[in-house]
Structure 1
Amino acid sequence: MTKPQHAGQAIVDSLALHGVKRVFSVPGESYLAVLDGLHGADIENVVTRQEGGAAYMAEAHGKFTGEPGVAMVTRGPGAANAYVALHSAWQDGTPMVLFVGLIPVADRMRESFQEFDPNSWFGTQTKRVFVLDEASRASEVVAEAFFAAKSGRPGPVVVGLPEDVITHRFTGRLHQPIKVSEGAVSAAQLGSLTAALQGAQKPLIFVGGQRWTPEAAAAIATFAEANNIPVVHDWHASDRIPATSPVNVGELGYGREAKPGEMFAEADVLISVGTVPTDVPTDGYTLRQNGDAVNFLVTIDTSLRGRSGAVTEHIVATPVAFTEAVAGLDLGRAADWDAWRAAGRAAREAFTALPDYAGLPATREGTARMSVVVAELAKRLPEDVVTTMGAGNHCGWAMRYIPTNRYPAQLGTRNGSMGYSIPAAVAASLESPERPIVAICGDGEFLMNGQELATAAQAGAPLLAVVMDNGQFGTIRLHQESHFPGRVSGTQLSNPDFAAFARAFGGHGETVTSDDQAADAVERALKAVIGDRKPAVIHVVVDQDILVP
């Protein structure tokens, strides 16, 4: 059968040319020509239950692969629902492209059905906003959108598709992908960095952010280990250096132990790779703000967006280019830094040691400890597990007890956006079906996009969700008790049976209400996910007063 020659088909053909294997969508009448182009294409259309879920999946795909995740939604309400993921991608520097169906060109500026202005809505939270007004430019616009999403500091891009334009005949040519630059480390910069490190007493590498590959992550670990330089991670980005590495001393941000913050403040030379000292890792712009601090910032972002503190030198390079530049570099100081590194490593090992609650009294009747459930889980998970998280105190259990040993291994929103855990788990499972995917969820966070378990079941994405049910928005409750003690207001929840919720979608459900139920529940849930290849939920009822690990 001959392919249709409309612009919608050209868009799909261009996505294939850019290596897109799947898109995440909620269908709409405003982009029917693109849906028509997807008919019979070698691109999987993962149909989701809400645009926020679709867009979160695209954002998670971007984090997980480094290639732009693609979401497709309709105009007005559909675009509004997708906005939350655009904000996450903007703040986290994640490559994604959101295609939004629009009203016909002739209906503009008439308050037509679901009309909105894409530039006004999205202009402050995206790298580019395109509106396809000429069918012949369909493929060119796709190429420009992907280039914008990937180049420099990655981020979200919106492509508006007027309903009538995408039905017009495509007379242009398919536009080849535009290669992005990795930047470079000059000989002078490498010399300056080397000299600073050779004179350092307490050097530290700070990693996170964008433009990493598995090879770059392995290379930075090799460089740090060869020179005995401790490495600290950005918040929700703890998978660049293996958890088992002797130079891994933890991560900054919310829920951390004391030692990484102390080392970050005390380091006399800091090398920041892929990220910069932003709000969260600096504890709200309080750590390392002194003007004479020696900070080498290695990032492809020429604007240094989000940076705080001093800049000794800005090296415009990706982690790929940087690790290539320092490969084999022997600073000759490894023994001198052993005590500095060892102290950080010892603190990290103590902090992440699985808890032993043998002999301790039980928690409130009808509740279990989240730490016990996660410990039982961690004992059984293979090294290549992928953990996903939304936002909330429940993330602390994943960050502390579930190790990350193979990049990429952790998907979370560094902008604190809720509802991310399940969509991210779906995206990771579809991309790497051979790896076990575990979502650590709060009760409030889970129900923001828990309906995407239906997508998981339909698309064949087995995942395990561990839902911590404390009947409240726990993070806000913690802040509330700090600022207005004893005056609980607007944070309490009445929850459903989450295990039954999972079974309703054809998945497996477990409920844990005491510590002695944890091991068997985890065993059965993992069997359902890994053996039976279906989604599972472990509903953990916990004491309201235990808000952090």
Structure 2
Amino acid sequence: MTGAELTIDLLAKHGVKEVFGYPGGAIMPIYDALYGSPVTHYLTRHEQGAGFAAVGYARSTGKLGVCFATSGPGATNLITALADAMMDSVPLLAITGQVPTAAIGSDAFQEVDVLGMSLSCTKHSYMVERAEDLAEVLQEAMHLAQSGRPGPVLVDIPKDIQMGAVNYHPWLAADDYKPELSQSELTKANELLSQAKKPLAYVGGGVQMADAQDELMQFLKATNMPAVSTLKALGSVTPDYAYNLGMLGMHGGQAANLAVQECDLLVCIGARFDDRVTGNLAKFASKAKVIHLDVDAAEVGKRKPVNASLVADLKDSLPHLATHKSNPEWLAHISHMQQQYAWRYDYPGEKVYAPYLLNRLSRLMPNNGVVCCDVGQHQMWVAQHMTFSHPSNHLSSGGAGTMGFGLPAAIGAQIARPNDFVLTVSGDGSIMMNIQELATIRRNNLPVKLLILDNQRLGMVRQWQQLFFDGRYSETNLSDNPDFVQLAAVFGIPGETITHANQVDEAIDKLVASEGPYILHACIDDKENVWPLVPPGAANDQMLTEVAK
């Protein structure tokens, strides 16, 4: 086989059925090998779109996402998706073409040191220097992307190695390093649990990566322990759990943030004390002792000291936690806060109210539907006002906060789960970042739904300019955007625009009932803000809940 043929053959042997990419000169041999192969390729209209489609594919299934790009600008256009996957621990394999080995270092046409560029935003990167190494590198890369704490891996393959003859030889992975649960730390943790009067579970994205939702829910139901979730963990705690407080942090719910500040034991399950979660770190859960469960020892104690650390796979560690029933007085207080700070949807105005629209959509869409968010105010409203039965049904760019994520991620999710309802929720700022992927929807006849919340502003930045920069609105006016429904129509996608509250219910019904792709363009108040908000440098119980518009 040639190196290119071996590449495609190995992907197929390892269960990869779909890949995303964009061809070019240095990766042309691999595209030639794709022709007639069992691996289906989806052409996106930008390499960043390919990277995010692969991320959406991976996050909605737990499988390896794969993307291709050529050398130079093709490879550099993948960097943002690699960084996003690194921050959110997504199993991703990026294969890039490179100029021939003899030309490396000569500033050849479309030569870029993608190995060097990618080192900081991948779990590992390779450049194949010898044809005899190709088989081992590819197999190791696929294994590495999916093992332990998942992450993106890049393999850069020079064109002459793609074209030259290579031999296949199986690569046998060494036994995976699997950290063993420390019995002494487990004893400490269970003692802390037995002593706690106000315990609280702080749930992170590690639960989904460990496929440990069942173990989490068994623990929570056995203890009645209240639970808060990070943005990436939403759906890990099932919506029907009585003491599910939802998201915590900068735009978390009031009950969630107050509970964290009041608890005396914080059980951190696969989370990393991100700054958007903690606010002022010194004041975060300052009354609480901490038990930290994570597969990655590097996260334990990285930002907050712990009293017990269970470094192990969550499927192994969670069942060993003691299941003492939570204090009834604490639970009564939690229930009171849930009622006191419950979201309200009786908006008095005539304009479309985004929280009501999203809440109604959440109640009407199929239980196993997938929502893919872009980044901004709409992202926080989705997290606050929609509910999810599993974290693979809520795809949102967490650590990187990447605008332009939602549309290509939805394409990847729809291809991975062709029979499921898949929706992109975007803003009028974010949608313009990768709007060319409407062509990918059209080409593949994908029934992806689009909801654009349009306030003619770069909303989250405008909100901060209002609150923290004395209302100096610098470069956040987007009132010259195109008509999104007309634009979608050019790509054969039907839809409608709504401008008033009395249009919302019927419009949501149409969106949910549509069989093919559909766009709902909802015009909202340009002064509407996301509440609550923890200001910079403040503790999480110092939330702003409203200011004059």
- The answer, yes or no, to whether TM exceeds 0.5 is yes
Q: Distance in 2 between matches of 1:287 and 1:403?
A: 29
Aligned to 1:148: 144
- Worse-superposed segment, 28-37 or 70-79: 28-37
Q: Provide the C-alpha distance between the structure 1 equivalents of 2:252 and 2:72, rounded to a whole number of angstroms.
A: 40
Partners of 1:262 and 1:15 in 2: how far apart?
Answer: 48
1:118: which partner in 2? Answer: 114
**Structure 1 range deviating more: 345-354 or 65-74:** 345-354
User: Which of residues 157, 181, 184 in structure 2 aligns to 1:185?
Assistant: 181
Contact 1:214-1:407 within 8 A present in 2 as well: no
> Could you list the per-position Cα deviations for residues 482-529 of structure 1 after superposition, in whole angstroms to 9, with x for gaps in the alignment?
23323221111121111122222222211111111112222222222x
Distance between the aligned counterparts of 1:168 and 1:407, measured in 2? 43
2:447 pairs with 1:478? no
Contact 2:246 2:384 (C-alpha < 8 Å) held by counterparts: no
2:309 match = 314
**1:330 maps to 2:326:** no
Give the conservation status (yes or no) of the 8 Å contact 2:261–2:284. Answer: yes
Q: With structure 2 as the length reference, what TM-score do the two structures score? A: 0.91
Residue of structure 1 in register with 2:33 after alignment: 37
Q: Which residue of 2 aligns with 1:362?
A: 350
C-alpha contact (below 8 Å) 1:147/1:179 kept by paired residues: no
SS state at 1:339 partner: helix
Query: What one-letter code is carried by the residue in structure 2 that aligns with 1:148?
Result: L
Equivalences for residues 432-451 of structure 1 within 5 A = 432-451=417-436
Aligned partner (choices 80, 98, 102) of residue 102 of structure 1:
98
Q: Alpha carbons of 1:300 and 1:178: their partners in 2 closer, same or farther (altered >3 Å)?
A: same
- Residue identity opposite 2:417 in structure 1: S
| Aligned position for 1:50 | 46
Instruction: Please tell me whether the aligned partners of residues 352 and 401 of structure 1 are also in contact (alpha carbons under 8 angstroms).
Output: no
Q: CA offset at residue 211 of structure 1?
A: 6.1
Q: How has the CA–CA distance of structure 1 residues 215 and 209 changed in structure 2, closer, same or farther, with 3 Å as cutoff?
A: closer
Q: Closer, same or farther in 2 for the Cα pair 1:203/1:319, shift >3 Å?
A: same
Once residues 126 and 58 of structure 2 are traced to their aligned partners in structure 1, the CA distance between those partners, rounded to angstroms, is: 19
For these two proteins, the number of residue pairs brought into alignment is 529
Provide the residue aligned with 1:139 in structure 2.
Answer: 135
How far residue 284 of structure 1 moved from its aligned partner, in angstroms, is: 4.9
Identity %: 29
Q: 1:341 aligns with which of 304, 309, 331?
A: 331
The answer to whether residue 522 in structure 2 is matched with residue 504 in structure 1 is no
The answer to whether the 8 A contact 2:66-2:92 is kept is yes
- Asked whether the equivalents of residues 135 and 167 of structure 2 are also in contact (C-alpha less than 8 Å), the reply is no
> Does the 8 Å contact 2:27/2:71 carry over to 1?
no
Matched letter for residue 138 of structure 1: L
Q: CA, structure 1 residues 345+351, in 2 after alignment: closer, same or farther (shift >3 Å)? A: same
Alignment of 1:412 with 2:396, yes or no, is yes
Q: Is the 8 A contact 2:238 2:390 kept in 1?
A: yes
Question: Which whole-Å CA distance do the structure 1 matches of 2:341 and 2:40 have between them?
Answer: 42
Equivalent runs, 1:204-223 vs 2, <5 Å: 204-210=200-206, 212=208, 216-223=212-219
Q: Secondary structure at the match of 2:71?
A: coil
Question: Which residue of structure 2 aligns with residue 536 of structure 1?
Answer: 518
Q: Is 1:399 equivalent to 2:392 in the alignment?
A: no
Tell me how large the CA RMSD over aligned residues is: 2.2
Q: 1:436 to 1:297 in 2, by over 3 A?
A: same
Alpha-carbon distance, 1:195 to partner? 1.4
In structure 1, the partner of 2:537 is: none
For residues 71-110 of structure 1, the C-alpha deviation after alignment (integer angstroms, 9 at most, x for no partner) is 1111111112111111111222222111111111111111
* Aligned equivalents of 2:456, 2:410: Cα separation in 1: 23
Q: Matched residues in 1 for 2:506 and 2:172: separation?
A: 53
State the one-letter code of the partner of 1:516: N
Distance (whole Å) between structure 1 residues aligned to residue 234 and residue 497 of structure 2? 29
Alignment deviations for residues 336-360 of structure 1 (CA, whole Å, 9 cap, x no partner): 2x33234435544665656134xx3
Q: Which residue of 2 aligns with 1:523?
A: 509
Which residue of structure 1 lines up, in the alignment, with residue 78 of structure 2? 82
Look up the SS of the partner of 2:423 in the other structure: strand
CA distance in 1, matches of 2:414, 2:509: 20
Query: Quick check: 390-399 or 172-181, which moved more?
Result: 172-181
Greater relative CO (CA pairs within 8 A, separation 6+):
2
- What stretches of structure 2 of length at least 5 have no aligned partner? 532-549
In 1, are the aligned partners of 2:207 and 2:213 still within 8 Å (CA)?
A: no
1:242 pairs with one of 238, 245, 257: 238
CA deviation after TM superposition for structure 1 residue 306, in Å? 8.8
Aligned residues of 1:268 and 1:293 also touching (Cα < 8 A): yes
Structure 1 residues 16, 348: CA separation in 2 closer, same or farther (over 3 Å shift)? farther
Query: Aligned partner of 1:40: which letter?
Result: G
Distance 2:392 2:412 in 1: 13
| Equivalent in 8, 32, 35 of residue 12 of structure 1 | 8
Pair 1:390 & 2:370 matched: no
Counterpart residue identity of residue 139, structure 1: A
The letter for the 2-side match of 1:356 is: D
Which residue identity lines up with residue 388 of structure 1 in the other structure? C
CA distance in 1, matches of 2:408, 2:443: 13
CA distance in 1, matches of 2:154, 2:260: 37
Is 1:297 matched with 2:295?
no
Contact map agreement 2:292 2:300 (CA 8 A) in 1: no
SS in 2 for 1:540: strand
Q: Give distance in 2, aligned partners of 1:35 and 1:299.
A: 40
| In 2: Cα distance, 1:351 partner to 1:435 partner | 33
- The aligned amino acid for 1:310 is P
How far apart, in 1, do the equivalents of 2:271 and 2:382 lie? Answer: 22
CA contact (8 A) 2:428 2:452 kept: yes
- Name the aligned partner's letter for residue 416 of structure 2: E
Residues 293-352 of structure 1 deviation map (CA, whole Å, 9 limit, x = unaligned) = 5222211112228931112233221222223444xx532x34x2x332344355446656
1:103, 1:114 within 8 Å by CA — same for their partners in 2? yes
Structure 1 unaligned residues grouped into runs of 5+: none
Query: What is the rounded CA distance, in whole Å, between the counterparts of 2:300 and 2:30 in structure 1?
Result: 35
Contact kept? 1:219, 1:323, Cα under 8 Å: yes
Amino acid at match of 1:322: S
Q: Which residue identity lines up with residue 476 of structure 1 in the other structure?
A: V
Conservation of the 8 A alpha-carbon contact between 1:144 and 1:178: no
Q: Is the Cα contact below 8 Å between 1:218 and 1:241 reproduced in 2? A: no
Choose the corresponding residue for 1:462, options 447, 455, 477: 447
